[in-house]
Amino acid sequence: MLLGPAFVAAIAYVDPGNVAANVSAGAQYGFLLVWVILVANVMAGLVQYLSAKLGLVTGRTLPESVADRTRAPTRIAYWVQAELVAMATDLAEVVGGAIALYLLFDLPLLVGGAITGGVSLVLLSVQNRRGQRVFERVISGLLLVIAIGFLTSLFVAPPSASDVAGGLVPRFDGAESILLATAMLGATVMPHAVYLHSGLARDRHGRPDAGAPRRRLLRITRYDVALAMLVAGAVNLAMLLVAATNLQGIDDTDSIEGAYSAVQGALGHTVALFFAIGLLASGLASTSVGAYAGAMIMQGLLHRRYPLLLRRLVTLVPALVILGIGVDPSRALVLSQVVLSFGIPFALIPLVRMTGDRTLMGDDVNHRLTTACGWLVAAVISVLNVVLIYLTVTG
């Protein structure tokens, strides 16, 4: 079975940050931002394939490839921004797991965050000791739980087809809708997943010989990415559609706890339970994958291996501090996705440049159209971020 690496990376696209951003978008704006999820999913599919392609063709991860082409000061500065992005990632995932444990068992958020971080350490130990394939199976199983948890409510109360179709027309409705669109984009095209996929593909398949063996693996990788993004896209779309159908106009649905209560009131206790279980699986799986990516980034850019516990604590502690000082968790989730969106160009620009470099990629260099699409993705995200800064400063 050659499929699998993309499903691990896809966990990044259904993390608690997605839940917060998508539910907030659906509850506040109905079906207005459906198109953002579809566009972001297509962008993410292209980016994830390019990342896996880089790992397979060069035998180097994206962080290693960046380090190979930069001097020490630049490399360290690059690592600092990547580490800040990793902290924002962990914030979303740990806070999401903590909220889920609060909803299910009424645990304090700080305790739930510590449990989420502890479970992620166990899952990382599985990867260290049992290998990548076992880790892939565990994460893929959690992805199935996530899908069931969030798709259940969609089948119980399906949205109107005409309303969904209306949401496919690209448009905004004020600065807050742009903020949410940026958060949704940051939650879908995840920087750490871009870095990670190059290593996942390389570690799973090695560096295949040029020619037919490599072309076969690249073709299989395209299928792997397409299937994984189809699952992730369906889950993200379900989150927004459920909120747009059942939560629009209801007070206090701008938080996950409020959304859970509203889902419980509208669709019943069983559907709300599935929602909370899906959120918990999302937090546990995504924080493990995020920490795995953080380790790969740290090792690739700093050229040093660090103990598993230290690597985990670097990004876990800020998330626990946020929970401990009482910051509104759902708002922290949405804002963390905006931070992630600012980190995307730092991952995309070198990725597109390197996969479009014939000297590096040989016969497997990007087609000109592929490279053009990659640059378009980077440009769209960068422009959206500039607009967001302007609206935030002037608003």
Question: In this structure, what CATH number is given to the domain that contains residue 119?
Answer: 1.20.1740.10
> What per-residue string of b and e applies to 342-369 under the rule 16 or more CB within 10 Å gives b?
bbbbbbbebbbbbbbeeebbeebbbeee
Give the residue numbers spanning the domain of 118.
3-394
Closest CA to 259 of 159, 184, 329: 329
pLDDT reported for residue 82: 87
Contacts of 270 (CB under 8 A, 6+ apart): none
Distance CA 250, CA 307 (A): 47
Residues 6+ apart with CB under 8 A from 364: 53, 57, 210, 214, 215, 218
Tell me if the pTM is above 0.75: yes
| Dihedral angle computed from the Cα positions of residues 287, 289, 293 and 294, in that order, rounded to the nearest 10 degrees | 20
In this predicted structure, what is the pLDDT of residue 113? 93
Q: Note the pLDDT of residue 304.
A: 79
Environment class of 11 (CB within 10 Å of its CB; exposed 0-12, middle 13-18, buried 19+) = buried
Q: 95 CB contacts (<8 Å, ≥6 apart)?
A: 16, 109, 113, 283, 319, 322, 323, 329, 332, 333, 336
At residue 168, the pLDDT reads 94
Q: In the prediction, which pLDDT does 389 show?
A: 64
**pLDDT of amino acid 187:** 63
pLDDT along the chain (395 residues), means of 10: 79 84 90 94 94 96 94 90 84 89 94 92 82 84 92 88 94 85 75 92 87 92 94 93 88 80 89 93 90 87 78 82 83 71 86 96 95 91 73 62
- Helix (H) / strand (E) element for 110: namely helix 109-130
Phi then psi for residue 245, to 5 deg, are: -80, -40
Number of domains into which the chain is organized:
1
